[in-house]
Amino acid sequence: MKLHLATLLAATALFASSPAAQAPKTPSSTEWTQAELERLSREIERQVEVLRGEKFLKPVEVKLATRADLLGYAKLRMERDTPPARMAADGDLAKLLAVFPADQDLLATQLAFLEEQVAGFYDPDTDSFALMDTTPRDLARIVMAHELAHALDDQLDKIDGTAARLVQDTDQQLAFHSVVEGAAMAVMTRWQLEHAASLDTAALAESQRTQLDALGSAPAWLWKPMFAAYMQGAAFLARNDNWVLAQGIRTPNADIRAAFANPPRSTEQVLHPSKYWSEAQRDEPQALDFEVGELPEGWEVRREDTLGELALGIVASGARERSGLQLNGNLAALMGVKFTHELAAGWGGDRIVLVSRGASHVLRWVTRWDSERDAAEFFGALTLRRDEFAAAARAVSNASDELCDAQLEYGDDPLTVVLDIRAGVRLIEARKVAKALKHVRSPAAPR
């Protein structure tokens, strides 16, 4: 399912790639009929086929939907793809890392964020596209170019099947979603450039104020990975690490097909395309796992995952990444968004595990680095955040200072950095839990 940021990014891509707003050429009425939607869909399907040089295996079913319909479906898909227990664990993990407010519910925040972004979506369950029935014509045409590109890729590559196999590796899953969204963005941007004379770009930019406000209220932990999947995903396919400059690059269709056939295995490769596309510079992630031994009574592993370079950058940045993106209605300010920085660059691999007993938690996060300098920079960044981690532990567990702490140390060598956070548990018992969490390096999966 693809819903997030569709309307915002339609205007963003056009703003970045178009030299000037055009005079309005298309009626802005928002009263749709099913017959008109079907006619427009067939027209844009043909245009997408030309842009991608590939044919749809069958026409895509299209339908109109209310905002309530779209949000209801989004919630059902979220709950199916991320069961409540997994969502709760993800929320606690983010709160303990001090990148998500301790007093907010992760699912409710995601849905509130989504409510301001949704205009339409392609549903791989039913091979259909739904458009919100109040979407203006110009915006609808752009969103349809994006969503019908998804439909084409799903017919050819079964998007949901690949995503489902990566459920225990958020980093690799986001890397794959970056291919999915980047491919659709490449089509959408090319479509916009070819039809710029018929689009009212000034009106499109004006329509984004609500979406910009939503970015200002959502933590970076939510909006930045979504935004990166679209914009950095398109840059990755254009073999460019600067998503703004990549807007003007025409992505070869052969590269899109190659990336679907052999997806990147980390956000590091997406953020630094040469680490994927260049044989000489290719940098595969180091696979880390936990061998979980016998845990003390009542304790259970709730979540194990790989977060990757993009997430490490958010954690290392601290308070400035916890707040939303302050744009003050200025779409051009989006051009300054960065998805990584020196504290996260040099990532080699990571694995995080969350073990809980009721409201008590032990979190262990092991990271591997390309050089001792990279490891030392990350170690230093997290050292500066120790008090924030401890405060987050107290807020999550509602426990006293003596039961909450954060410790940072090097692992078996200076390339490994280990963060341990305990929340609502005495040190002696936290050590027993940690003793059962042995991290090991595994051979990288063959390409």
CA-wise closest residue to 445 among 286, 307, 308: 286
Distance of CA 419 to the CA centre of its chain: 23
pLDDT digits (tens, 9 = 90+) for 87-115: 999 999 999 999 999 999 998 888 877 77
Using the Cα atoms of residue 277, residue 244, residue 219 and residue 340 in order, give the sign of their dihedral.
positive
In angstroms, rounded to a whole number, what is the distance separating the alpha carbons of residues 190 and 208?
20
- Alpha-carbon distances, residue 169 vs 214, 224, 285 (angstroms): 27, 18, 12
Mean local confidence (pLDDT), 127-146? 90
Confidence of residue 3 (pLDDT cuts 50, 70, 90): very low
Residue with tokens 């940690």: 434
Q: Which of 10-24, 210-224, 317-331, 355-369 has the lowest mean pLDDT?
A: 10-24
CA-wise closest residue to 378 among 334, 412, 408: 408
In angstroms, rounded to a whole number, what is the distance separating the alpha carbons of residues 367 and 207?
42
CA-wise closest residue to 143 among 210, 62, 264: 62
With both helix axes pointing from N to C terminus, report the angle between 253-261 and 170-194 in degrees, rounded to the nearest 10: 160
Confidence of residue 53 (pLDDT cuts 50, 70, 90): very high
Q: Which of 72-76, 188-192, 353-357 has the lowest mean pLDDT?
A: 72-76
What 3-state class would DSSP assign to 62? Answer: strand
The pLDDT of residue 427: 96
- The type of residue at 105 is D
The angle subtended at Cα 58 by Cα 55 and Cα 63, nearest 5°, is 115
In angstroms, rounded to a whole number, what is the distance separating the alpha carbons of residues 55 and 48?
9
CA-wise closest residue to 364 among 406, 309, 414, 415: 406
Mean local confidence (pLDDT), 309-313? 97
Mark 415-440 as b/e (b = at least 16 C-beta within 10 Å).
Answer: bbbbbbbbbbbeeebbebbbebbebe
DSSP assignment of 387-417 equals HHHHHHHHHHHT--GGGEEEEEEE-SSTTEE
The pLDDT of residue 92: 97
Q: End-to-end alpha-carbon separation of the chain, Å?
A: 26
- pLDDT at 202 > cutoff 80: no
In angstroms, rounded to a whole number, what is the distance separating the alpha carbons of residues 139 and 119?
9
Rg of the chain taking only CA atoms, in angstroms: 22
In angstroms, rounded to a whole number, what is the distance separating the alpha carbons of residues 355 and 259?
35
Where in the chain are the domains? 6-277, 287-442
The pLDDT of residue 344: 96
Percent of the chain at pLDDT above 70?
85
Using the Cα atoms of residue 33, residue 39, residue 45 and residue 51 in order, give the sign of their dihedral.
negative
What 3-state class would DSSP assign to 344? Answer: coil
Using the Cα atoms of residue 244, residue 245, residue 246 and residue 249 in order, give the sign of their dihedral.
positive
Confidence of residue 16 (pLDDT cuts 50, 70, 90): very low
- pLDDT at 220 > cutoff 50: yes
- pLDDT at 132 > cutoff 60: yes
What's 22's DSSP letter? P
In angstroms, rounded to a whole number, what is the distance separating the alpha carbons of residues 78 and 74?
6
Backbone angles phi, psi at 9, to 5 degrees: -75, -20
pLDDT digits (tens, 9 = 90+) for 345-400: 999 999 999 999 999 999 999 999 999 999 999 999 999 999 999 999 999 999 99
pLDDT digits (tens, 9 = 90+) for 249-296: 889 999 999 999 999 999 999 999 999 999 999 999 999 999 999 999
Q: Which residue has the higher pLDDT, 363 or 205?
A: 363
